[in-house]
Structure 1
């Protein structure tokens, strides 16, 4: 049930009736017509821009269309009033009976309330985290992991066929650096004095890897040239780091469907096939790029390169795909990787990148557009930086990795649920301040606590009702008579419940899971307001002494709130709690 969609359908029916009567011409596009909550709740429950959209193509004044449309809509029993405002907007107020029916709709559907069928089984690949397998995940990866996982859950909730994927960057030079760093720890495990040169990984997290390598091969690699051990140590170290990364993700409740190795693209012809596909479409050529904008580096010189004509697909400049020595640039395997995704039959691709990858977006979109001939869209979401605070002051944590704060450092401090929710309290492209003190504070200023407390409050009411002998199972509550629910504070909670299906659809369309976190906070706030108001106005209390029927009606509203909170937290990957501790 999506009440906003239902009322929009009624608006379209009224427009069709006006066309049949000759009030409006045939053939008008209604795609841009919306029905949404008004910016100011004092203006009504819903507002539509229908008259404004139709005025110009119909050759009529917006208010003239709105006046007739208001009369048509007034015939609907669900609409208490339709008022023309401003140049031609139409504000709608719905009858109380509509809001009184919301708890039943929610309780009857359960957590399926709001799911809808937006995705219709469309196959979507969401690639996120994809950190180099050279160490534990850091706090920046944490935000990308939470965002990507919540987005994948949001899309799955709205009917998409979602694959969660991690791209292992194990084909570049950084993996050789990892192998050399592990080799130093291996020598250290044998009692050798070692020194970490610049560019190696000195973190203590490699100590157990070096010891494990010693246990595996003994002293076979001691005093041996790099040619003997590099390849084997690289594989050993990469496997160890991937195991560490999987453990990190598990700490956060993130589980991938696919781990795709960049290395698997090399020596298999897959990179060549992707580039040949672009070449066959006239998009690969030999050429010389213009000097970089701004101050030109002293060592820059024009040279012929193998280039991808990415400017034909929206990029600013064409991009090199092969180095002068004949080796592929880092862009080439990424092209092949996305070609593989397209070949696997995905209808949409989503990449979640860190803030430092902003310059990579256009070229990657150009590659996907060229490879799929515009059929498969790629949306790239950038996650901005996270700054850590405690009581408003920059927070310096002990760094188990040696040089950076890890995902586990954060999760150990506040837990996975708090970590996930806080990471979604800002839009992904906005910097995020993570204050550890606020994250565990029991106040309205802490959104995690505030939402969890609302859910727990409902279950406290349910326990008290059961103790009083009142049946509060969902089936019974769904059948409760809410016709006496007329207080504005109660109706405002029902109105907020009605927004959930619309909110979920918008969040899924825009790939913005933070909208769910914002909504849950607002819904929790409405419930807390109702609960607290009951302290002064006994008729608003959920439990009415010696009146089981009225109690059930009021509890039905609260239970409906809990159902939606549970569904929303599920999307965010946060476990609801029935009792605060």
Structure 2
């Protein structure tokens, strides 16, 4: 019996074969019963190439004991030409071993696709991915950096899986922090005019004190002085140019400062290789009446009322003042408590502005929303999911990825200071120290919600312990082999029967799993899985490289054996292509050689 053509996704192919077998065994079972059938690598390689939970998840609907159904399914699968063995295991699993020729044939698929290998078919619907969204109050810091990389890689991963993706940056430019920023920029303006006021004297004159003291606002003050002269200042004071009434300068200074901060943020993001498709201003959205529109929509659904909330956790009756507020019935959509939309004075809450932002996304036709937030926003997730469910009649989903804090260390000690920013390590500091690719790759070597220690010494170290180097070195080794062979063409058509060593087949099996990794990582919203996959793939390749040093028959270029050489060069070229495909999702450039 001849083998079927090599599929684009070997796991999807076997799943389709399994469902087909189940339909034959269970013609009375409805199609939806097969939705939870999965095919994945077994936990132990000795058990085969794949394992399926099919009998376990379909057994109840079929009114059959899962072990009995697993035995019948295994018998059906063993009859397939691409399957050499299928055996029931445990409470209802089936382990599957594939024909080696079928496995080898995946190399042709990979080489024909090149870096597009793993690309999913177009899917219906549009996904909005919002990430970074930092307050425009200063340079990007290392915490923003992690969220930026995770969000950018997640957007690329979703696109790789076949989704239509819009990358969005939400500018938080309507709150008290931006007001404080404007007062800080005004101080730099007075400095540019030559005021003799000291920082501390100025801080005593403004509401809330001087919160932002970093040197990054100096260019803003100089720009204001160039364009407006002393028109925004009070002249003739004992200190020379001094603080004027906010009605004379606040709107102008605020607008100029936010614009210049966003230019700086865009430059920082560009240095990191992060691009957004759209920038949405919170202040503009509020001015357009989106908050009123959102409230009206919720009110029309009977989801708004006047009431008094219980004290927050940790508050005692003595330090809690009950106030009647405008509330949203968030508990109807899975939240623990109802949430305030307007304060007792009638002004909108922070949550209300976020609801307006999400109404805008829904009105723009997105079917799914994904946010990357700092871990300190974890308590905010359920209320936003409730709001999105209410505004979209439960049609639009909201997934939130929480990115934990990053600790930067060098020589075993924390790195804390940036002269330009004043108190923290900036994104530019990090890029200047180790380079963009090392920053991006390293930020994806942990799950986003796990705390991370970014070791400046390790990420430039050329060792197995540095995953950035380890993966890049694998690609560089592939390229060195192909250059030594004269960059052979048409390797996709090479005969592959010479590839019989377990290490060679293990490498092909790993690469054949790339489309499944893309789909699973996109569905779970976990781009770090790409870094894990690439590290494992690099390990398989380095293992084969080292075996070739000990056993000359496994070397990639074999004098006197052109057919075996072409087969092994096809293996090397496919490995390089899959590494580039994965690095492309991560936004990391592959290297041709290590220096």
TM-score, normalised on structure 1? Answer: 0.95
Most deviating of 89-98 and 420-429 = 89-98
Q: Does 1:203 align with 2:214?
A: yes
| CA distance in 2 between partners of 1:73 and 1:392 (Å) | 55
Q: 1:348 Cα deviation (Å)?
A: 0.5
Q: 1:26 Cα deviation (Å)?
A: 3.8
Aligned pairs for 1:94-105 (under 5 A) are: 94-105=98-109
Aligned pairs for 1:122-201 (under 5 A) are: 122-193=125-196, 194-196=198-200, 197=203, 198-201=209-212
Instruction: Tell me the equivalent position of 2:40.
Output: 36
Could you say what secondary structure the match of 1:301 adopts? coil
Q: Does 1:580 align with 2:594?
A: yes
User: Which structure 2 segments of 5+ residues have no match?
Assistant: 1-7, 204-208, 235-243
Could you say what secondary structure the match of 2:87 adopts? strand
**Native 8 Å contact 2:444 2:531 kept in 1:** yes
Q: Does 1:349 align with 2:392?
A: no
Q: Does 1:510 align with 2:506?
A: no
Match of residue 95, structure 2, among 91, 94, 111: 91
Aligned pairs for 1:493-532 (under 5 A) are: 493-532=507-546
The one-character-per-residue Cα deviations of 1:255-307 (angstroms, maximum 9, x if unpaired) are 11111001112332221111100000001111111122334163422121111
**Native 8 Å contact 1:391 1:438 kept in 2:** no
Match of residue 559, structure 2, among 542, 545, 550: 545
Q: 1:165 Cα deviation (Å)?
A: 0.6
Match of residue 442, structure 1, among 462, 475, 495: 462
Most deviating of 266-275 and 362-371 = 266-275
Could you say what secondary structure the match of 2:495 adopts? coil
Instruction: Tell me the equivalent position of 1:564.
Output: 578
Tell me: CA distance 1:297–1:354, structure 2 relative to 1, closer, same or farther (3 Å).
farther
| CA distance in 2 between partners of 1:181 and 1:397 (Å) | 20
Q: 1:558 Cα deviation (Å)?
A: 1.1
Tell me: CA distance 1:217–1:501, structure 2 relative to 1, closer, same or farther (3 Å).
same
**Native 8 Å contact 1:354 1:383 kept in 2:** yes
Q: Does 1:10 align with 2:13?
A: no
Q: Does 1:489 align with 2:503?
A: yes
Q: 1:397 Cα deviation (Å)?
A: 4.6
**Native 8 Å contact 2:85 2:97 kept in 1:** yes
Could you say what secondary structure the match of 2:372 adopts? strand
**Native 8 Å contact 1:454 1:527 kept in 2:** yes
Tell me: CA distance 1:56–1:176, structure 2 relative to 1, closer, same or farther (3 Å).
closer
| CA distance in 2 between partners of 1:305 and 1:88 (Å) | 55
| CA distance in 2 between partners of 1:477 and 1:351 (Å) | 42
Q: Does 1:425 align with 2:432?
A: no
Most deviating of 311-320 and 244-253 = 311-320
Match of residue 108, structure 1, among 112, 116, 136: 112
TM-score, normalised on structure 2? Answer: 0.93
**Native 8 Å contact 1:399 1:406 kept in 2:** no
**Native 8 Å contact 2:48 2:97 kept in 1:** yes
Could you say what secondary structure the match of 2:394 adopts? coil
The one-character-per-residue Cα deviations of 1:297-356 (angstroms, maximum 9, x if unpaired) are 634221211111111111111111112222111121211111010000001111111111
Most deviating of 51-60 and 356-365 = 51-60
Q: 1:91 Cα deviation (Å)?
A: 1.2
Tell me: CA distance 1:47–1:231, structure 2 relative to 1, closer, same or farther (3 Å).
same
Instruction: Tell me the equivalent position of 1:554.
Output: 568
Provide the aligned C-alpha RMSD in A. Answer: 1.5
Could you say what secondary structure the match of 2:485 adopts? helix
Tell me: CA distance 1:302–1:73, structure 2 relative to 1, closer, same or farther (3 Å).
same
| CA distance in 1 between partners of 2:325 and 2:120 (Å) | 50
Q: 1:392 Cα deviation (Å)?
A: 3.5
Q: 1:10 Cα deviation (Å)?
A: 1.3
Q: 1:144 Cα deviation (Å)?
A: 0.4
Could you say what secondary structure the match of 1:53 adopts? helix
| CA distance in 2 between partners of 1:92 and 1:338 (Å) | 46
Aligned pairs for 1:51-70 (under 5 A) are: 51-70=55-74
User: Which structure 1 segments of 5+ residues have no match?
Assistant: none
| CA distance in 2 between partners of 1:123 and 1:57 (Å) | 33
| CA distance in 1 between partners of 2:351 and 2:458 (Å) | 41
Instruction: Tell me the equivalent position of 2:389.
Output: 369
